[in-house]
Amino acid sequence: MRGKKPCPDAAAGLLPPRPGLRNTDSKIFFLHETLNFCSTFWNATQESNDNGTRGRLSAGFVEALKAVVGSPHVSTAAVVREQHGHDESMHRCQPPDAVVWPQDAEQVGRLAALCYGQGVPIVPFGTGTGLEGGVCAVQGGVCINLTRMDRILELNPEDFSVVVEPGVTRKALNAHLRDRGLWFPVDPGADASLCGMAATGASGTNSVRYGTMRDNVLNLEVVLPSGQRLHTAGRGRRFRKSAAGYNLTGLFVGSEGTLGLITAATLRLHPVPEATVAATCAFPTVQAAVESTVHILQAAVPVARIEFLDEVMMDACNRHSKLNCCVAPTLFLEFHGSEQALAEQVERTEEIIRHNGGSHFSWAKEAEERSRLWAARHNAWYASLALRPGCKGYSTDVCVPISRLPEILVQTKEDLEAWRLTGTIVGHVGDGNFHCILLVDPEDPEELLRVQAFAEQLGRRALALHGTCTGEHGIGLGKRQLLLEEVGAVGVETMRRLKATLDPRGLMNPGKVL
């Protein structure tokens, strides 16, 4: 059988044990109380708001939508609406009343003004790859699907910048740049739209070196709820730094469609590195793997990617992607630079890893080998789902200071056993960000409650360690209470005032974030 190399002190089982809860009265009481809380909280986040237009769009209004974009670009068919009422998350489908496909920013502005003038909620839609219910139309309304706006508007190689419409995906952009010696490195795994990535403040496997979307967006064109068009850094500007006024670009990056519709993004590009090498290495314990990560970063090794996968995740990847890796806590690493620089980085990294008990090094220098390795990492979601066919996946997204990462990861592994949950752990540990991909039987409400309770507990543990409840997925529908606990009442009230200024009628993607 593939993927069964023996590893020192590493569990080789295909699935984690499912022991009972720890037999103490205090633990049982805690679990009971937390489940009760989560039942109330989860139900509250799933309920549709009674406001809005659910099922009440008039025929005249639908005709007005068609007058803007053309009849073929408007649909009220149930199957189409349902396709646009959910993302990859476990939040239940909440379809809009109509779906429209604008062709340009001028049409988006007219659609926004029409909806806003009639009090109709607006829900932006990209590729639907989000994990926090950001596209659920909790009040009905109009879903504006931006995928047909898919042009690369402007490329400035000497300035390392590009302007893209919202339908351009990460893979499409990098395919276009392939012969230019440039690339866009922010890589969340899914082939997400770049403007959608900006809207959620996405990051990914390369963020430890190249930063997140917040670091790589130079300017945005945004259609405000009123239909007005805003250029957050000024029309046509693509500078690397500015001290001119408030940071409007930063305001809209991560706003999750609650302040306006992003219709173009000016992005920062990077030169393709001269040489690249990737590697995997196994560890006897989770603690050893994560401490190696901390030591590599403390040694100022300019690693481009450093990803952690626990033994359950490695087993899933071996099965799903036909790898032959050790079933143990594992680091996936990648280095970028000149040949000489890579040799120095690799030597120093190997020294640190061996000091922490790492072994089973496997180096991938050829592009095909590296692609296969990172494809396996990016397919971690689907590999996890394959461990329990028929189950749904739920992903957590906490991020903590690097120094607290070993502590929270070890505790999380213990909690998975205590809560009797099956799940994998994978993450961008170079940033302190990791995900538990929890597998849930959709027909088992008690298990669903345990998953929600576990996620709430993990979010609060991250906050207690001076971290955040979401490193890259966003707040969406399910983390609004944790946002309040994270930024405080004054922080949330400030956000509410900003939204009220830009969206006084509360029609832009209602029910999300706040």
* Number of structural domains the chain divides into: 3
Over residues 58-82, mean pLDDT: 98
Of 236, 271, 306, the residue at which a domain comes to its end is: 271
Domain of 162, CATH number, reads 3.30.465.10
Of 271, 293, 309, the residue at which a domain comes to its end is: 271
Residue 423 counted as domain residue: yes
Examine the domain organization and report whether 310 and 366 are in the same domain: yes
Over residues 267-279, mean pLDDT: 96
Examine the domain organization and report whether 343 and 249 are in the same domain: no
Q: If DSSP codes are grouped into helix, strand and coil, which group holds residue 432?
A: coil
pLDDT exceeds 70 at position 137: yes
Confidence of residue 483 (pLDDT cuts 50, 70, 90): very high
Examine the domain organization and report whether 410 and 322 are in the same domain: yes
Instruction: Take residue 160 and report the two structure tokens written for it.
Output: 């390392």
Q: If DSSP codes are grouped into helix, strand and coil, which group holds residue 182?
A: strand
Range of the domain at 372: 275-465
Residue 470 counted as domain residue: no
Examine the domain organization and report whether 309 and 438 are in the same domain: yes
Q: How many C-beta atoms lie closer than 10 Å to residue 40's C-beta? A: 9
Of 145, 174, 205, the residue at which a domain comes to its end is: 145
pLDDT exceeds 70 at position 425: yes
Q: Are 466 and 404 in contact (CB under 8 A)?
A: yes
- Of 199, 195, 156, which is closest to residue 172 (Cα–Cα)? 195
Examine the domain organization and report whether 320 and 447 are in the same domain: yes
Please enumerate in sequence order all residues whose Cβ is within 8 A of that of 451, keeping only pairs 6 or more positions apart, or say none.
394, 421, 438, 440
Q: What are phi and psi of 229, to 5 degrees?
A: -105, 130
Domain of 318, CATH number, reads 3.40.462.10
Examine the domain organization and report whether 301 and 388 are in the same domain: yes
pLDDT tens-digit series, residues 214-243: 999 999 999 999 999 999 999 999 999 999
Over residues 87-109, mean pLDDT: 96
What pLDDT is stored for residue 51 in this prediction? 67
Examine the domain organization and report whether 174 and 105 are in the same domain: no
Choice among 26-30, 69-73, 74-78, 234-238 with the minimum mean pLDDT: 26-30
Buried-exposed string 255-272: b where 16+ CB fall within 10 A, e elsewhere: bbbbbbbbbbbbbbbbee
Q: What percentage of the chain carries pLDDT values higher than 70?
A: 90
Mean pLDDT value across the chain: 90
pLDDT tens-digit series, residues 292-310: 999 999 999 999 999 999 9
pTM score of the predicted model: 0.88
Which DSSP state fits 71? G
Domain of 127, CATH number, reads 3.30.43.10
Outline where 217-355 has alpha helix (H): 248-252, 286-298, 311-321, 339-355
pLDDT exceeds 60 at position 53: yes
Residue type, 277: V
pLDDT exceeds 60 at position 11: no
Examine the domain organization and report whether 300 and 440 are in the same domain: yes
Examine the domain organization and report whether 338 and 455 are in the same domain: yes
Examine the domain organization and report whether 200 and 136 are in the same domain: no
Residue 15 counted as domain residue: no
Choice among 5-9, 285-289, 399-403, 471-475 with the minimum mean pLDDT: 5-9
Residue 23 counted as domain residue: no
Examine the domain organization and report whether 219 and 330 are in the same domain: no
Confidence of residue 33 (pLDDT cuts 50, 70, 90): very low
Residue 243 counted as domain residue: yes
Residue 251 counted as domain residue: yes
pLDDT exceeds 90 at position 23: no
Q: Are 61 and 118 in contact (CB under 8 A)?
A: yes
Examine the domain organization and report whether 332 and 241 are in the same domain: no
Q: If DSSP codes are grouped into helix, strand and coil, which group holds residue 499?
A: helix
Residue 214 counted as domain residue: yes
Q: How many C-beta atoms lie closer than 10 Å to residue 420's C-beta? A: 15
Residue 305 counted as domain residue: yes
Which DSSP state fits 476? T
